[in-house]
Amino acid sequence: MPAPQQRWWGGALDAEALARDAVQRVRDAARAVAAARDLEVEIETSPALIAASFAAIDHLRIDGRPAQPWGGLSGFVAARDGWVRLHGNYPHHAAVLRAVLDVEDRAGLERAIARWDAADVEERVVAAGGIAAAVRDEAQWRAHPHARATAQEPWAGLVDRGERGMLPPAVPGAAGRRTVPGESSAGDSSAGDPSAGGDAELLAGVRVLDLTRVIAGPTCTQLLACLGAEVLRLGPPHRPELLDQHLSTGMGVRSALLDLRREEARARLRRLAAEADVILTGYRPGALDRHGLGPADLEELAPHSVLGVLSAWGTHGPWGGRAGFDSIVQAATGIAVRCGSEERPGALPVQALDHATGHLLAAHVLDALARGRAVTVRASLLGAARTLLALPAPSGEVAALPVPLRQVASGAGTLEVVPPPLTVGGRTLERDVGADGAERARWHG
């Protein structure tokens, strides 16, 4: 009988196994890219790096202050017949909660929801464009129409669209920038040296168009940026990313604003997509389709690209077009009940669905680049939840691990961060964080 794996967080579910497997897949795929580019470099991971990176926002410090990831209206609220989980971190989602429930603050929210059934709260909030989920146990979720419709979907499904061409061998001296243009590196004096750890960076010359936000997609693209890719993240000017969220997932990423309500912006995005090696989307299914930039459009614009499509609930079934977050998927699928007590539901110790899915997506991207294939990968947080719930019950003692912290520069001040969970040539991969939306929407390389 195999010995129990080390536990870092504890809890009723084996989130450690989910995290370990996803990051090891990234490590193996990164090794394949190194081999394809004739780079002789050691690529590793460690339990300390994995554990800390999955709790990156908890460890983040901005000029000494901790991050503030949760809005005042987010969290579990007791309904008349159970519990509901709300997500109001973003201003537009908080505004929906206030309008639908006719409340101004948390106390009013709790009084209002106590008069409703949880399913009614879920239905009314979602119909108005907000984010909510009734807390269900596993049996209730398995009986749900969306659970039945998606039961056979893999965590990440891949369609091979043909050959895209192999990456050229890495050119000595062609390492990507270690810092954001115009900013100096902080912390380790060698962190800004492009030659440190090898003659060239793993993904030098690879262009990644990042149409994601929150945690899962940016976890993927931050890792690709820290491996040397040019990552250009585009966001809507009228709905900016939360500052602390951006600082937690923006290392090495160039960020620009593009208003897709304007035709000239849509035309620019089409040009950028046509020139990208990798395109990643993470908005609610259908959100980009109305601009002519859905997955099928992007496949046509960039037939040579590796396309990653990320969603909360998958793209089929009655909830296939619904927005969602890690905490909301936990609540709906039974994870919150498994992590809670008789008195109230609970949550995983980290947002493991987000981070694991982001790393799994990165693994598929790296594998496709290494093999020279144009693929479309569809991954969902629901698939991560289903995978986690199917794992055997965990065993073993919980042991605290050291937290590998680094200092980097940002427009918001000096950051204390956890680097991505890989080392290349024995070095961690931290980079500076540029200001959200400060770049121009164009390729540098």
Distances (CA, A) of 180 to 170, 414, 429, 434: 22, 14, 14, 6
The answer to the question of residue 91 being in a domain is yes
Q: Which of 156, 158, 162, 209 is nearest to 376 (CA)?
A: 158
The CATH number given to whatever domain includes residue 62 is: 3.40.50.10540
Q: For residue 2, give the DSSP letter.
A: P
How far apart are the two ends of the chain, measured CA to CA in Å?
Answer: 52
Number of other CB atoms surrounding residue 205 within 10 Å: 18
Cα(77)–Cα(85) distance, integer angstroms: 6
For tokens 């940026």, name the residue: 225
Q: CA Rg, the chain, in Å?
A: 21
| Percentage of the chain lying above the pLDDT 90 cut | 83
* pLDDT tens-digit series, residues 100-109: 999 999 999 9
Same domain? For 117 and 138 the reply is yes
With H, G, I as helix, E, B as strand and everything else as coil, classify residue 362.
Answer: helix
Is 212 within 8 Å of 219 (Cβ atoms)?
A: no
Q: Which of 189, 260, 223, 259 is nearest to 43 (CA)?
A: 223
The answer to the question of residue 443 being in a domain is no
The answer to the question of residue 2 being in a domain is no
Cα(349)–Cα(10) distance, integer angstroms: 8
Q: For residue 299, give the DSSP letter.
A: H
Q: Is the dihedral of CA 353, 356, 362, 368 positive or negative?
A: negative
For tokens 């895209």, name the residue: 164
For tokens 């994995």, name the residue: 50
Cα(152)–Cα(354) distance, integer angstroms: 20
Same domain? For 80 and 65 the reply is no
Q: Which of 287, 296, 272 is nearest to 324 (CA)?
A: 287
Please report the pLDDT score of residue 330 as a whole number.
98
Same domain? For 233 and 301 the reply is yes
The answer to the question of residue 435 being in a domain is no
Same domain? For 91 and 138 the reply is yes
Q: Which of 95, 101, 128, 132 is nearest to 116 (CA)?
A: 101
What angle separates helix 326-333 from helix 381-390, to the nearest 10 degrees? Answer: 50
Query: Confidence class of residue 285 from pLDDT cuts 50, 70 and 90?
Result: confident
Cα(236)–Cα(291) distance, integer angstroms: 13
Number of other CB atoms surrounding residue 159 within 10 Å: 11
Please report the pLDDT score of residue 4 as a whole number.
66
Same domain? For 19 and 164 the reply is yes
Same domain? For 238 and 286 the reply is yes
Q: Which residue has the higher pLDDT, 178 or 443?
A: 443
Please report the pLDDT score of residue 148 as a whole number.
97
Please report the pLDDT score of residue 199 as a whole number.
45
Residue 15 pLDDT greater than 90, yes or no: yes
The answer to the question of residue 4 being in a domain is no
Same domain? For 137 and 44 the reply is no
The answer to the question of residue 436 being in a domain is no
* pLDDT tens-digit series, residues 36-56: 999 999 999 999 999 999 999
The answer to the question of residue 1 being in a domain is no
Query: Confidence class of residue 338 from pLDDT cuts 50, 70 and 90?
Result: very high
Q: Which residue has the higher pLDDT, 200 or 399?
A: 399
Is 88 within 8 Å of 72 (Cβ atoms)?
A: yes
Q: Which among 130, 148, 166 is the end of a domain?
A: 148
The CATH number given to whatever domain includes residue 126 is: 3.30.1540
Q: Which among 90, 115, 148 is the end of a domain?
A: 148
Same domain? For 323 and 405 the reply is yes
> Can you give the residue range of the structural domain that contains 114?
75-148
Q: Which among 148, 171, 205 is the end of a domain?
A: 148
Distances (CA, A) of 94 to 89, 130, 281: 7, 8, 24
The answer to the question of residue 94 being in a domain is yes
Q: For the chain, what is the domain count?
A: 2
Same domain? For 294 and 234 the reply is yes
**17 φ, ψ (degrees, to nearest 5):** -65, -40
* pLDDT tens-digit series, residues 83-124: 999 999 999 999 999 999 999 999 999 999 999 999 999 999
- What is the β-pairing status of strands 230-235 and 207-211? parallel
Q: Which of 371, 425, 55 is nearest to 228 (CA)?
A: 425
Same domain? For 89 and 214 the reply is no
Q: Which residues pair with 408 in a beta bridge?
A: 415
Same domain? For 392 and 375 the reply is yes
| Percentage of the chain lying above the pLDDT 70 cut | 92
Q: Which of 191, 210, 87, 209 is nearest to 417 (CA)?
A: 191
Query: Confidence class of residue 415 from pLDDT cuts 50, 70 and 90?
Result: very high
With H, G, I as helix, E, B as strand and everything else as coil, classify residue 189.
Answer: coil
For 196-200, 239-243, 297-301, which range has the lowest pLDDT when averaged over its residues? Answer: 196-200
Please report the pLDDT score of residue 296 as a whole number.
94
Whole-number mean pLDDT of the chain? Answer: 91
Residue 306 pLDDT greater than 70, yes or no: yes
Same domain? For 227 and 340 the reply is yes
Residue 197 pLDDT greater than 60, yes or no: no
* pLDDT tens-digit series, residues 112-163: 999 999 999 999 999 999 999 999 999 999 999 999 999 999 999 999 999 9
Strand order in the sheet with 75-78: 75-78, 83-86, 132-134
- What is the β-pairing status of strands 65-66 and 75-78? unpaired
Please report the pLDDT score of residue 171 as a whole number.
67
